[in-house]
Amino acid sequence: MNGKAADRTEAISADPASAHAAVDAAADNPLLLDLQVCFPLYAATNHITRLYGPVLARIGLTYPQYLVMLVLWEQAPQTVGALGARLHLDSGTLTPLLKRLEKAGLVSRTRDPEDERRVLVSLTDQGRALRGQALDVPATMAGNMNPEAIDALRETVTRLVDLLTGK
């Protein structure tokens, strides 16, 4: 936390000369920007994945598999392409992951009779039933965070995604 970063609390004011602390710091060392923005994001995501690992292992899922199941519990069946669009993942990632979920008996993969290029991913009874076991995962993970912190976190993440994707 250097001096310029500390100035940020006042940069919310309308003074354009001091409104861009990161840009000011970048004038000295441009690489500081990535060290302050991209690296923390990367570290935070790894941290989350690591925290969920043991909890999800109890219901036999990895973190990416859990996210796929979350989306399928919202709506199924879905094509691989639709899943990829929703999750921002390509087929090279999804195909083997879905095959593992199929092998575990949680989903089924069938060619769409309407269009044989598509593969429909459906939930099996076992896959649907797993939702019941997953229901307390968020609360377990939230654990010792208070409601205000969780809500602030959700808002912050939403803002982050808005900034990154569309603006």
Partner DNA sequence: TCATATTATATTGTGCACAATATTATTGTA
Partner DNA sequence: TACAATAATATTGTGCACAATATAATATGA
- Which residues of this chain interact with its own copies, rule CB under 8 A? 5, 8, 11, 19-23, 26, 30-31, 33-49, 52, 63-64, 66-67, 70-71, 73-74, 87-89, 131, 134-139, 141-142, 145, 147-161, 163-165, 167
Instruction: Give strand pairing partners of 78.
Output: 121
Q: Which is nearer to DNA, 36 or 84 (CB)?
A: 84
Residues 127, 129, 132, 134: what is their CA dihedral angle, to the nearest 10 degrees?
A: -20
The one segment of 5-13, 46-54, 124-132, 159-167 that binds DNA by CB under 7 A: 46-54
Q: Which does 109 bind (CB under 5 to 8 A by kind): its own copies, DNA, none?
A: DNA
**Cα separation of the two ends of the chain:** 27
Distances (CA, A) of 113 to 94, 110, 118: 21, 9, 9
Q: Where are the alpha helices (DSSP H) in 2-124?
A: 3-6, 21-28, 31-36, 38-57, 63-74, 80-87, 91-103
The one segment of 2-10, 15-23, 42-50, 133-141 that binds DNA by CB under 7 A: 42-50
Q: Which does 92 bind (CB under 5 to 8 A by kind): DNA, its own copies, none?
A: DNA
- Rounded least distance, CB 162 to its own copies, Å: 9
Which amino acid belongs to residue 13?
S
